[in-house]
């Protein structure tokens, strides 16, 4: 069965605001680009996938198990870069990642090595001992990815990661996500079409909480 299944997933906020309606998707490893304008429900959907909000209707299955009832298998293997991710500017990247390893209750043994491996994966090895406050926006986003990779996640969720990046960093970031896919499922939310063209293997488009397209990016974006 697919790694991740969304079965008629809906979410209504406490104030009655309906943010997600009837989303059904079956996902295998690769990069799912989740495209849609502001307010389409992308962040709400990603918070549900990150087990930070429970669907108010329908179900999300990870390896065939409902995550509302059994969140732990997914949580153990989840990497999440939220839209409003903030790192501590006075810490170095290495210090921050060690701290995040403790927050995520990762084993202390081998953590230093894992931190260095993750910093290398995102190309920050040479800046590892500099304070994050001195980093560019793109470097800060790469710190965000590095912390999401600490537990070697099978599901990596990144919410609008290229907002505010310059074109060079944006390109670098897309290439990084492509490198990270492979055996992982990466879910990338964006309202920037070129982000999708460059990296997504599957495309889902949301408008007003509903899925209005799901398929090959080429089928929608008229790519060569
Ligand atoms: P995005 O940048 O994803 O479009 P929004 O502007 O929709 O984000 O929302 C930013 C934050 O403000 C959300 O994470 C949510 O917590 C809060 N928010 C947005 N819309 C409402 C609303 N109608 N009522 C209460 N809180 C809201
Ligand atoms: P996107 O990430 O695509 O911008 P969101 O998931 O942030 O979309 O928002 C989807 C809808 O839910 C919007 O109408 C937004 O205003 C509303 N919303 C988001 N957060 C909240 C919240 N905390 N309370 C009420 N409504 C919210």
Nearest-atom index, ligand 2, CA of 206:
3
Q: How far is the CA of 44 from the centre of ligand 2 (A)?
A: 6
Q: Which tops the pLDDT comparison, 220 or 53?
A: 53
Q: Is the CB of 109 under 6 A from ligand 2?
A: no
Q: Does the pLDDT value for residue 224 go beyond 50?
A: no
Identify the residue whose C-alpha is closest to ligand 1 atom 20.
Answer: 39
Longest dimension (CA), the chain: 49
Q: How many CB atoms lie within 10 A of CB 66?
A: 14
SS3 56: coil
d(CA 39, CA 150): 30
Ligand nearest to the CA of 19: 2
Q: If DSSP codes are grouped into helix, strand and coil, which group holds residue 99?
A: helix
- Average pLDDT, integer, range 45-72: 97
SS3 94: helix
CA atoms within 13 A on the CB side of 119: 23
Tokens of 182: 């492979």
Segment 190-203 shows an average pLDDT of 87
State if residue 1 touches ligand 1 by the CB under 6 angstroms criterion: no
pLDDT at 195: 84
What local confidence, expressed as pLDDT, does residue 5 receive? 98
Average pLDDT value for residue range 45-66: 97
196-222 mean pLDDT: 90
Q: Give which of 175, 196, 194 is closest to 121, Cα–Cα.
A: 175
Q: What is the mean pLDDT of residues 172-194?
A: 89
pLDDT of residue 223: 57
Q: Is 14 in the pocket of ligand 1 (CB under 6 A)?
A: no
ipTM value of the model? 0.75
Q: What is the pLDDT of residue 157?
A: 96
pLDDT surpasses 50 at 28: yes
Q: Which residues contact 206 (CB under 8 A, 6 or more apart)?
A: 23, 34, 35, 36, 40, 41, 42, 45, 212
Structure-model confidence comparison of residues 159 and 219, the more confident one: 159
Dist CA 181 CA 201 (whole Å): 10
Percentage with pLDDT > 70 across the chain: 99
pLDDT at residue 208 above 80?
yes
- How far is Cα 125 from Cα 93, in angstroms, rounded to an integer? 9
120 φ, ψ (degrees, to nearest 5)? -70, -40
| pTM for this prediction | 0.87
Sign of the CA dihedral 157, 83, 190, 137? negative
């Amino acid at each position: 069965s697919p790694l991740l299944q969304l079965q008629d997933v809906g979410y209504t906020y406490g104030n009655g605001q309906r943010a997600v309606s009837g989303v059904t998707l079956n996902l295998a490893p690769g990069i799912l680009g989740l495209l849609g304008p502001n307010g389409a429900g992308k962040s709400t959907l990603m918070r549900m996938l990150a087990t930070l909000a429970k669907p108010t209707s329908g179900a999300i299955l990870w390896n065939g198990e409902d995550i509302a009832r059994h969140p732990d298998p997914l949580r153990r293997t989840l990497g999440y870069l939220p839209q409003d991710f903030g790192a501590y500017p006075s810490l170095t990247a290495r210090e921050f990642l060690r701290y995040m390893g403790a927050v995520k209750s990762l084993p202390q043994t081998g953590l230093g090595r894992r931190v260095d491996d993750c910093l290398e994966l995102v190309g920050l090895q040479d800046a590892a001992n500099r304070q994050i406050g001195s980093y560019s926006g793109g470097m800060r986003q790469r710190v965000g990815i590095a912390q999401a990779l600490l537990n070697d996640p099978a599901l990596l969720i990144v919410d609008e990661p290229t907002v505010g990046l310059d074109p060079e960093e944006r390109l670098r970031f897309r290439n990084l996500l492509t490198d990270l896919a492979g055996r992982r499922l990466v879910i990338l939310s964006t309202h920037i079409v070129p982000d999708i063209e460059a990296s997504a293997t599957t495309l889902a488009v949301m408008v007003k909480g509903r899925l209005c397209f799901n398929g090959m990016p080429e089928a929608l974006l008229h790519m060569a």
